[in-house]
Structure 1
């Protein structure tokens, strides 16, 4: 029941009622990735292409779509990773969650939120002053 209420009143938790209805009416399940996101296609978009969408496993986070599925979602390929033996390239890194706004966010040296000491200024910088 809690999941249904979240889907009714929020757009960032899984799917909205509109997406649920569209998926039920037009959606054909294409596949699922390792993170549990489920991919669908069906109907046509404004450019006449087959409409493609994802229902996230958890909060809607666009960076949670793996590279192979990203190419399929954006019509860069007509073959989904579920339909072929897709293997990640050697240079591809594993997915990392977007930690912006959390305690695990990147905080460079000199940041107010960083616990370390601010780096010492070397003196190679002259502050700008008007009419100088």
Structure 2
């Protein structure tokens, strides 16, 4: 019951009833990524492109879409990673979700949350001082 109420009254916990209904009526399943997110496509949008969407496995977080599926979702390619053997390039890092607000968030030197001192200015920048 709790899971049902969360899905009805919060848009970030999985898909809403409207999205599930639209997916049931118009969606064609294209594939699934390694995180359990399921990708769909449907009819054409106002620009003549095929509508594409994802039903997230858990909390809705756009940063949870891997690179191959991101390209397909944004019409960079018409071939989904499910239709081919997508291999990431050597220089691509493995996917990680957005760490903002978590203990793994990036905190540069000099940040309030990082005790290390900020690197000294090397002379290529002169800070503005009021009254000069």
Find the aligned partners of 2:72 and 2:30 in 1 and give their Cα distance.
11
Query: Structure 1's 29 and 118: CA in aligned 2 closer, same or farther, altered over 3 A?
Result: same
Query: Structure 1's 122 and 5: CA in aligned 2 closer, same or farther, altered over 3 A?
Result: same
| TM-score, length of structure 2 as denominator length | 0.86
2:4 is matched with 4
Q: What are the within-5 Å matches in structure 2 for residues 1-132 of structure 1? A: 1-114=1-114, 116-119=115-118, 128-130=129-131, 132=132
Deviations along 1:70-123, one digit per CA (max 9) or x if unpaired, are 111111211111111211111111111211112221222222222x24348679
Find the aligned partners of 2:82 and 2:128 in 1 and give their Cα distance.
57
Unaligned runs of 5+ in 1: none
Q: How many residues align?
A: 130
Q: CA deviation at 1:2?
A: 2.5
Q: Compute the RMSD of aligned alpha carbons.
A: 2.1
Query: Structure 1's 109 and 49: CA in aligned 2 closer, same or farther, altered over 3 A?
Result: same
Find the aligned partners of 1:4 and 1:97 in 2 and give their Cα distance.
25
